[in-house]
Amino acid sequence: MRHILILYRPSEKRGGFAQAVCKIPKQIKRHKSRSCTGGVFFITRCTFSDYYQTFENQTGRLKKYGAQEHAMNTANKTLSFEFFPTRTPEGRDKQTAVREKLRRFNPAFFSCTSGAGGSTREGTLQTIADILAENTPAAPHLPCIGMNEAEIHTLLDTYRDMGVRRIVALRGDMPSGMGASGSGLRYAAELVELIRHRYGDLFRIEIAAYPEYHPQARSAAEDTAHFAAKARAGADSAITQYFYNADAYFRFVDDVRTLGCTIPVVPGIMPVTGFAKLMRFSDTCGAEIPRWLRLKLQSYADDTESVQAFALDVVTDMCARLLEQGAPGLHFYTMNQSALPEEICRRLGFGA
């Protein structure tokens, strides 16, 4: 669903563009513009195919009339993008190029994941150093499982000295074959407390949120209580696990607000690059793929181009709804690729 903004002034002579406007199909909504005077109207929220068929077929000269894709007001909305460490010089160069493309959207920060038990620690440090060298705020993931307190302090000191001022504080997953953590920290809330106690307000702390609940949660109430504990420990804002059901996000935000949590909760967005890959990720992290979406994507079989094109419209429409109904911004899980996040941001009007 793209957002099309078309301005027109009704007149007695309804030819060309004005005539096309009067024959718009029912699925396109027409509204009186409060920001315009003299009978100017605008049309918004229609699919590009509806828009094209209506105005191109009626007028035959779409561009002549200056119709344009609608850019919603994104002035107070933030964007951020997540990467994972690469293992080769070629991968590092590619990631640099990807970040360069995404930087045009003026991101609040680029984040970088860290493997279980610090398995990718050197790669994370290198990626964070690269991001900072590009004069962009960087936010490394910091999982506390598999690290003792001394290691956590040392790593935080390193990040501080590098110029990092934002941390994504996580519990993390226990690496396979590793015994109990010697850090004494079992929950992300304890990590947030540790950071605040030692570093005060030096770091802005991001925490994780799960609109469809953590896969290991025993109940919805338990999961929201864990989130509230992290927020009260001193977190500044939260980033959600990805989802494809906007209602799950709004319901989660309502639930944590009733617990007194007022920190911003930024939706995590995963563009769909392929059906099989999406299913693998979702099975691992507990993200739900709505049945209608799963069946539709599955119907394209190995037609990756059709999968991406359809999912792009679905995800963009969801992002538009999230922003329109109060989400403070969007956090993209890029998978170290720029094309789909770029297109979604462009459609929404970022970087215009």
Catalytic residue among 12, 56, 69, 82: 82
Residue 82 annotated to the active site: yes
Burial of 262 (0-12, 13-18, 19+ CB in 10 A): exposed
Contacts of 54 (CB under 8 A, 6+ apart): 20, 23, 24, 25, 28
* In contact, 259 and 250? CB cutoff 8 Å: no
Tell me how far apart the alpha carbons of residues 57 and 45 are, in angstroms, rounded to a whole number: 19
Neighbours of 57 (CB within 10 A): 11
Residues in a beta bridge with 79: 330
Among 306, 304, 274, 311, smallest CA distance to 290 is for 311
Q: Element (H or E) spanning 95, and its range?
A: helix 89-102
Residues with catalytic function = 82
